[in-house]
Structure 1
Amino acid sequence: MGVETPLLTNNHSNHEEEKPVSYVKEFGRESKTLWKLAGPAIFTSICQYSLGALTQTFAGLVGELELAAVSVENSVIAGLAFGVMLGMGSALETLCGQAYGAGSIRMLGVYMQRSWVILLTTACILVPIYVWSPPILEVIGETTEISEAAGKFALWMLPQLFAYALNFPIQKFLQAQRKVLVMAWISAVVLVIHTFFSWLLILKLGWGLTGAAITLNTSWWLIVITQLLYIFITKSDGAWAGFSWLAFADLWGFVKLSLASAVMLCLEFWYLMILVVITGRLQNPLIPVDAISICMNIQGWDAMIALGFNAAISVRVSNELGAGNFLAAKFAVIVVSITSIAIGVVCMSVVFATRDYFPYLFTTSEAVAVETTKLAVLLGITVLLNSLQPVLSGVAVGAGWQAIVAYINIGCYYIVGLPAGILLGFTFDFGAEGIWSGMIGGICLQTIILIVLTSITNWRREAEEAGSRVKKWGGGSTAED
């Protein structure tokens, strides 16, 4: 490559003279911009993920059945709801981000309210899955003992479902305006409170799964209420103008984009969670399920780093495309890809180096710890792959490619990866390692396709489509400042 990059525009300086800049200097500038978004977003994601992960950890210190119950509920029942809510809420990353870039600030509050209407309705539709989770879990292969324990815990976790419905639109609303530090501070304070009360209720007072449900539900609602208070009090620099009947306008079009986002992210989010379900069909599944759950717990924490970059690049791409700066959007993709791969290599090395030690943070069972150590190599590979893949998905969300990526995910994950995992795990009798290895193949294929798709993208055309999208959703006519 040459020393000079294409002319990149400053998205906040309309009258600044464009000039050639060195590749290294521009890379550093873009990295600084990305980290200002990604750093707090990563911290927020880790804090919020840690709410469930710490609950799972405390449950593991109570007993194997309690660990399996919380793990299966988190992975399957709450995991399904989390994927749907996060996916549908991600439609706001496209709409709010591009509207913000185009200067249509007031429409952000309307978009958030439309998303609340859709997600709260979806939450009501998902309630039966929580209520009848024991038979559902048995149908997909879990033992009666684990299903009943997880089902009881799922019923107690219904308040968390409705907290999800409000939280994810709020987060996308704040992220589009780059108000990521607010979410980081709120999440950090709630995590400290959650840790103390989890220890107190689950271990000290011996409330077990009941204490776990109380603390987890309360923590999620505390996040939602605190974020709402911030938005209502500050008006979010004009993005919140109060409740509006526009929230109910053109809901069907909004639902379609939300569903495309949900399908895309759910297919990704559920893919590795299916590992827990399939492993439950092995002979004597309790130890493999616990081992896989521990690995998924570690992978989930690491995935929060990639999810932070996912949010950051989605904001950068959507803002720049909304403002018409297609070259800046393209360059942001290059910078975040290189950065995330470097972080993935570091995280993989940490997993390999600590594989004999980290299992004991989650279990007192020697058998579970040994099985977890065996799976650590696959965990390290997954960590590396998942450093880039969510970032590329963030690019897709920022550009509005949700429907295209949904088809890619179906093919790579569920037509290639999942059958390969079942074949290796059961037909060739490689057990949990075989199931996971086959599914890694699906992640590899999907990542390669997304790299090719991003590389051949016409970013000028994407910027033009972003402008059309903002006008279509009312940004140009109803939201002038």
Structure 2
Amino acid sequence: MSRPVKQPLAERSWGFGTSYRSQLGSFTTSTPIAEASIAQDLRDDQGDVSQAVAQDGSEDDDDSEPSTVRPEYSMAGSYRRPSFVASGIRATAGAPAQSAEPRRLTKQERETALAEERSLLRDNQLIPPKHPRKDSHSSGNFGERLGKRISNTSTGLGRRRTGDEESALSSTEEGPEASETTALLGSPEQPYGGEDTPENITKKWEEAVASGKIQTTWQRETKVLARYSRSLILTFMLQYSLTVASIFTVGHIGKVELGAVSLASMTANITGYAVYQGLATSLDTLCAQAYGSGKRTLVGLQMQRMVYFLWVMTVPIGVIWLFGTQILEAIVPEKETAALAGLYLKIILVGAPGYAAFESGKRFVQAQGLFSATLYVLLVCAPLNAFLNWLFVWQFGWGFVGAPIAVAFTENLLPVCLFLYVRFVDGRECWGGFSKKAFKNWGPMVRLALPGLAMVLAEYLAFEILTLSSSWISSTHLAAQSVLSTLSVLTFQIPFPMSIAASTRIANLIGATLSDAAKMSAKVALVAACFVGTLNIIILSSLRNYLPWLFTNDADVANLVAKVLPICAAFQLFDALAANCNGILRGLGKQEIGGWVGLFSYYVVAIPVSFGTCFGLHWDLYGLWAGPAIALGMVSTIEGWYIYKTSWEKAVEDATRRNIMG
């Protein structure tokens, strides 16, 4: 194949190990809607500046950069597509709108990129090691070097060496004499032989990639994926704990309460949280585009628009939640369960505006590469949420209503903590203050948001329908379904973050035209998925008689969970493989394959099989979980075969073509 065109380092820095910036950032391709929106904002901003100049006779100082300045671009940014993370009953990854402009690199990203390139050059012996062993450059093996040293030493026993002997010995032990290139290469005593300069690393990297000398190993890829995954896993666990905390605390009151909190969470996810998360995905494009425009305060303007838009959407959401009892009573046969679920919805409505602001704020900091901000906020709010659930439900004796009060309080605390992070830690430079322009130019934002909303709702509904269906069996089955869903999603919080890490690594390697390295990374990801899936099987199977009691004191519910749990355990391997196959496809830029395969498997296969076996064959919960088990097996098989047949060289060519066109 033809050799892809190389880019300067500033335009193709990898972003390796850069917290979550590249892990959850957006791959970028041209999006006319986003381009038109940002262009309009830039024209409005330029108009304000021109008006100020006309009035004052001079342009006021502005911390933001001119829109004509072309920012530094990341190669990872030149081949990234949006990766959306949903925090509901089943975390999802979709592919909403796409950004037209890559983001500029921060100083930390540039340093991290150089470090990764330096490391690969060193491992491929294209530059000296950081700290070479003494005499490592000498010819011969250890025995020969030892014999030579002994021989040289023996010639001098009993007398002092002459100057010529000292010079010869020094030359033998310390390597070749200095030449006209020594000043450029540096001293062997220095780290990396003195070759560790950005200019030299850039030059050697370009030459090595062009000549195909960069290779990787499974050990290196394992370390990289582990480094990428660990913070993501922690973040996902903390985020999901916001839901688990209520189920833990309320479940021990009774099975009716356990079923009610699960039913209420499901309704809130579908009618509220999924709407917020889906609509906010447009900021993955708009904020990144605004950041790349050179006018950083436009990032804050886009966030303001989304906050106001989501608050407007809270009105119809609030109507649904306020009438939640009546709606659920028409769907669910258990009236007491429906009444408690409706009460839960009414209370958490107080936290809906805060949650909407937090979803928008997340995109605001993510566009700047500050993905650690979300982790720090969750490190504060998640443990506090668990404590408040325990405090309100049991210590204050508020019972069932204590859980939604704790949730509402936490949801309003999330944007406050994020604001404090931006105000006192990092991210303030993209905030230009409140502006009336946030109430204009909503059209592009809405058009970009709708595809993301459709994707998220489709993912949510596939699994939430099972919870709703279990309520038609009995309250015991609904409570057991709540526990089973919680456990299956909890185990999913390990392979799914791993899939995001794999997606990032593979996309970066392909963007660097390293097809063999990307293929190696994909193999490591699949092996890791098999390991994690097998571990989940062992844990759920061996602890099936103990885990249910963590959620409930009801013997009937616990026994039912213990009986059905082996089915959930059985498809853990397929679940982990499917998640990582989706991650690999996203890295290849083929996420639409995963989207269609998933929709077909869940809606054409899983749901009909679940309904047929549950209600037609009267398998109850066994039948409900048979559908997802079969669907996940199909997803992992079809996507795995597609990846096996994929031409990685062609993937590099496609990525290069997109880079040139974008």
TM range (shorter): 0.7 to 0.9
- SS where residue 205 of structure 2 aligns? coil
Question: What's the counterpart of residue 475 of structure 1?
Answer: none
Which AA in structure 2 matches 1:445? Answer: M
> In structure 2, how many angstroms separate the alpha carbons of the residues matched to 1:158 and 1:273?
20
Deviation at 1:231, TM superposition (A): 2.1
Identity of aligned residues (%): 25
Question: What's the counterpart of residue 420 of structure 2?
Answer: 229
Alignment of 1:288 with 2:477, yes or no, is: yes
> In structure 2, how many angstroms separate the alpha carbons of the residues matched to 1:269 and 1:82?
10
Deviation at 1:379, TM superposition (A): 1.6
> In structure 2, how many angstroms separate the alpha carbons of the residues matched to 1:98 and 1:393?
25
Deviates more, 1:364-373 or 1:327-336: 327-336
Deviation at 1:437, TM superposition (A): 0.2
Higher helix share: 1
Alignment of 1:195 with 2:383, yes or no, is: no
- SS where residue 17 of structure 1 aligns? helix
Matches within 5 A, 1:172-251: 172-175=363-366, 178-236=369-427, 238-240=429-431, 242=433, 251=442
Question: What's the counterpart of residue 76 of structure 1?
Answer: 267
> In structure 1, how many angstroms separate the alpha carbons of the residues matched to 2:457 and 2:579?
12
Structure 1 residues 447, 264: closer, same or farther in 2, change over 3 A?
farther
Deviation at 1:115, TM superposition (A): 4.2
Alignment of 1:17 with 2:208, yes or no, is: no
Structure 1 residues 454, 229: closer, same or farther in 2, change over 3 A?
farther
Alignment of 1:48 with 2:239, yes or no, is: yes
Please tell me whether the aligned partners of residues 263 and 467 of structure 2 are also in contact (alpha carbons under 8 angstroms). yes
Structure 1 residues 358, 118: closer, same or farther in 2, change over 3 A?
same
Question: What's the counterpart of residue 654 of structure 2?
Answer: 461
**What whole-Å deviation, never above 9, does each CA across 1:129-185 have from its counterpart, x for those lacking one?**
212222332333342121111011111111333333222343344456553443323
Deviates more, 1:334-343 or 1:107-116: 107-116
Which AA in structure 1 matches 2:575? Answer: N
Please tell me whether the aligned partners of residues 256 and 479 of structure 2 are also in contact (alpha carbons under 8 angstroms). no
> In structure 2, how many angstroms separate the alpha carbons of the residues matched to 1:314 and 1:88?
23
Structure 1 residues 260, 345: closer, same or farther in 2, change over 3 A?
farther
| Alignment partner of 1:381 out of 566, 570, 576 | 570
Alignment of 1:304 with 2:493, yes or no, is: yes
> In structure 1, how many angstroms separate the alpha carbons of the residues matched to 2:221 and 2:438?
35
Please tell me whether the aligned partners of residues 255 and 557 of structure 2 are also in contact (alpha carbons under 8 angstroms). no
Structure 1 residues 400, 301: closer, same or farther in 2, change over 3 A?
same
Deviates more, 1:82-91 or 1:62-71: 82-91
Please tell me whether the aligned partners of residues 42 and 308 of structure 1 are also in contact (alpha carbons under 8 angstroms). yes
> In structure 2, how many angstroms separate the alpha carbons of the residues matched to 1:138 and 1:385?
36
Question: What's the counterpart of residue 479 of structure 1?
Answer: none
Q: Which has the higher contact order (CA 8 A, sep 6+)?
A: 1
Alignment of 1:260 with 2:451, yes or no, is: yes
Please tell me whether the aligned partners of residues 186 and 223 of structure 1 are also in contact (alpha carbons under 8 angstroms). yes
> In structure 2, how many angstroms separate the alpha carbons of the residues matched to 1:292 and 1:112?
38
Question: What's the counterpart of residue 3 of structure 1?
Answer: none
Deviation at 1:266, TM superposition (A): 2.7
Deviates more, 1:238-247 or 1:213-222: 238-247
Deviates more, 1:225-234 or 1:447-456: 447-456
Which AA in structure 2 matches 1:418? Answer: I
Question: What's the counterpart of residue 124 of structure 1?
Answer: 315
Question: What's the counterpart of residue 4 of structure 1?
Answer: none
- SS where residue 355 of structure 1 aligns? coil
> In structure 1, how many angstroms separate the alpha carbons of the residues matched to 2:513 and 2:340?
53
Deviation at 1:111, TM superposition (A): 5.1
- SS where residue 458 of structure 2 aligns? helix
- SS where residue 423 of structure 1 aligns? helix
> In structure 2, how many angstroms separate the alpha carbons of the residues matched to 1:114 and 1:390?
33
- SS where residue 438 of structure 1 aligns? helix
| Alignment partner of 1:137 out of 328, 339, 349 | 328
Which AA in structure 1 matches 2:498? Answer: F
Structure 1 residues 224, 15: closer, same or farther in 2, change over 3 A?
farther
Which AA in structure 2 matches 1:343? Answer: V
Deviates more, 1:237-246 or 1:286-295: 237-246
> In structure 2, how many angstroms separate the alpha carbons of the residues matched to 1:390 and 1:441?
15
Which AA in structure 1 matches 2:418? Answer: Q
> In structure 2, how many angstroms separate the alpha carbons of the residues matched to 1:288 and 1:51?
23
TM-score w.r.t. structure 2 length? Answer: 0.61
- SS where residue 23 of structure 1 aligns? coil
Question: What's the counterpart of residue 270 of structure 1?
Answer: 461
Which AA in structure 2 matches 1:296? Answer: S
Deviation at 1:194, TM superposition (A): 2.0
Deviation at 1:78, TM superposition (A): 3.2
Deviation at 1:446, TM superposition (A): 3.2
Q: Which ranges in structure 2 are unaligned for 5 or more consecutive residues? A: 1-8, 15-112, 115-201
Deviates more, 1:222-231 or 1:78-87: 78-87
> In structure 2, how many angstroms separate the alpha carbons of the residues matched to 1:364 and 1:262?
38
**What whole-Å deviation, never above 9, does each CA across 1:428-449 have from its counterpart, x for those lacking one?**
1111111210232223333444
CA RMSD of aligned residues (A): 3.6
> In structure 2, how many angstroms separate the alpha carbons of the residues matched to 1:98 and 1:399?
22
Please tell me whether the aligned partners of residues 77 and 129 of structure 1 are also in contact (alpha carbons under 8 angstroms). no
Matches within 5 A, 1:446-457: 446-451=635-640, 456=646
- SS where residue 123 of structure 1 aligns? helix
| Alignment partner of 2:351 out of 140, 146, 160 | 160
Deviation at 1:22, TM superposition (A): 4.1
Q: Which ranges in structure 1 are unaligned for 5 or more consecutive residues? A: 1-7, 470-481
Matches within 5 A, 1:433-452: 433-451=622-640
Structure 1 residues 377, 108: closer, same or farther in 2, change over 3 A?
farther
> In structure 2, how many angstroms separate the alpha carbons of the residues matched to 1:329 and 1:105?
34
> In structure 2, how many angstroms separate the alpha carbons of the residues matched to 1:241 and 1:339?
44
Deviates more, 1:150-159 or 1:217-226: 217-226
Matches within 5 A, 1:332-351: 334-351=523-540
> In structure 2, how many angstroms separate the alpha carbons of the residues matched to 1:264 and 1:244?
31
Which AA in structure 1 matches 2:488? Answer: Q
Deviation at 1:97, TM superposition (A): 6.9
> In structure 1, how many angstroms separate the alpha carbons of the residues matched to 2:660 and 2:599?
29
Alignment of 1:146 with 2:334, yes or no, is: no
> In structure 1, how many angstroms separate the alpha carbons of the residues matched to 2:504 and 2:295?
14
Deviates more, 1:226-235 or 1:170-179: 170-179
**What whole-Å deviation, never above 9, does each CA across 1:347-389 have from its counterpart, x for those lacking one?**
2211111111111111111111110001111221343333243
> In structure 1, how many angstroms separate the alpha carbons of the residues matched to 2:384 and 2:533?
30
| Alignment partner of 2:545 out of 356, 362, 369 | 356
Deviates more, 1:353-362 or 1:155-164: 155-164
